[in-house]
Amino acid sequence: MDFELKILGSSSATPSFDRHHTAQLLAIGNQLNLIDCGEGTQMQLMRYKVKHQRICNIFISHLHGDHYFGLPGLLSTMHLQQRTASLNLFGPKGLAEILSLQFKYAGTQLPYKINFHEVDTTVSRKIFEDKTITVHTLPMQHRINCCGYLFKEKQKPRHLLKSKLPAFLTPPQLVRLKWGEDVLDEAGEVLVRNADVTTNPKHSRSYAYCSDTKYKEDILPLIKGVDLLYHESTFLSDMTQRADYTFHSTAQQAATLALKAQVKRLLIGHFSARYKDLTPLLAEAQAVFPNTNLAVEGKTINVLE
């Protein structure tokens, strides 16, 4: 199954001609999750030939415009294109009020349902769960209410070794073996040891999205060991003071967090418009955490099982 991240934009607040504001698509199987939705996201979806009707869930980190000013337009286009499937929308207090006001003055009656979930940006909570994944909020430290999101695949079933399975096992017993249990006889004695007839399940993948925020070590336990960490890196470290003052991070800080959290891979983005050339940001991060990439538009990162 796919677990694939596509970058649609990675510019910080002041836009840059060749970089759009923040938006990312996380495809998990057939489910498309949109993470933030800066201005122009619907045009970026067209550019990369993504059918927006496939988006099931939208997660907004905070109400600075560079993270959501594309949302009313995208929702309106879904309306014009006769979407009927309901949509989950996660975001901080204020988002539903703003959208309602815009739709009111536009005279818009959406033909699909938006299930709006107001998130508490100050704590880590499970906000979404289906048969495949869970999503938790990650509290950020920014100038206004802001949270990241942690996407985790649920534990997958163990592999059954067909050649080693006794013929007498019933379907319910096979299911129990898949989920790690032994098979017991009526007296409660082990009849078939799980370890003898199964191997480990495929890896459950995880993606942590952290934007916008000051360097913040208290999220380390929450993002520990994730397969892929996106962390904002608005500045180079010669602007640490400005990063601190504006509640943003440097590339070095993002990499330090990745190192301490022992993540597998780091992706940096939300670049200040002052950096035309992004290689110094990459170099600064890689000096601390070598497995770092730039979140440039159009880039796709496939997280393997």
Report the chain's terminal Cα–Cα distance, integer Å. Answer: 8
User: Does the annotation list 79 as a binding residue?
Assistant: no
> In the stretch 88-127, what mask flags binding to a second copy with x, by CB under 8 A?
-----xxx-xx--xx-xxxx--------------------
Strands (E), 100-174: 114-118, 126-129, 133-139, 147-153, 159-160
Considering the complex, state which of residue 37 and residue 267 has its C-beta at the smaller distance from a second copy.
37
212 is in an annotated binding site: yes
Q: Strand order of the sheet with strand 266-269? A: 126-129, 133-139, 147-153, 206-210, 228-232, 266-269, 292-294
Contact criterion met (CB below 8 Å) for 121 and 69: no
**142 in a labelled binding site:** yes
For residues 103 and 43, give the distance between their C-alpha atoms in angstroms, rounded to a whole number.
Answer: 20
Q: Which amino acid is at 74?
A: L
Alpha-carbon span 17 to 1, nearest angstrom: 35
Do the beta carbons of residue 225 and residue 219 sit within 8 Å?
A: no
Task: Indicate if 18 belongs to the active site.
Answer: no
Q: Which of 1, 54, 56, 73 binds a second copy (CB under 8 A)?
A: 73
- Which residues lie below 8 Å from residue 186, measured CB to CB, with a gap of 6+? none
Query: Near a second copy by CB under 8 A, which window of 8-16, 164-172, 206-214, 252-260?
Result: 8-16
Backbone angles phi, psi at 166, to 5 degrees: -60, 145
- Per CB under 8 A, 168 contacts a second copy: no
**Helices 71-80 and 95-106, axial angle in degrees (round to 10):** 50
Q: Is 20 annotated as a binding residue?
A: no
The active-site residue out of 36, 66, 182, 238 is: 66
**53: contact with a second copy by CB under 8 A:** no
Contacting residue, 31, 53, 76, 286, with a second copy by CB under 8 A:
76
Q: Would the annotation count 62 as a binding residue?
A: yes
Q: Which of 2, 29, 30, 47 binds a second copy (CB under 8 A)?
A: 47
Residue 163 Cβ vs a second copy, minimum distance, rounded to whole Å = 53
Alpha-carbon separation of residue 55 from 25, 147, 211, 213, 256 (angstroms): 9, 21, 21, 26, 33
By CB under 8 A, is residue 143 in contact with a second copy? yes
How far is residue 219's CA from residue 275's CA, in Å, rounded to a whole number? 28
- CB of 106 vs a second copy, minimal distance in Å: 5
Is 66 marked as a binding-site residue?
Answer: yes
Smallest distance from a second copy to CB 4, Å: 22
- Minimum distance between the CB of residue 145 and a second copy, rounded to whole angstroms? 9
Question: Which CB sits closer to a second copy, 71 or 268?
Answer: 71
Q: Which residues bind a second copy (CB under 8 A)?
A: 13-15, 17, 20-21, 39-40, 42-43, 46-47, 63-66, 69-70, 72-73, 76-77, 80-81, 93-95, 97-98, 101-102, 104-107, 143-144
- The binding site for Zn(2+) consists of 62, 64, 66-67, 142, 212, 270
Q: Which residues are catalytic?
A: 66
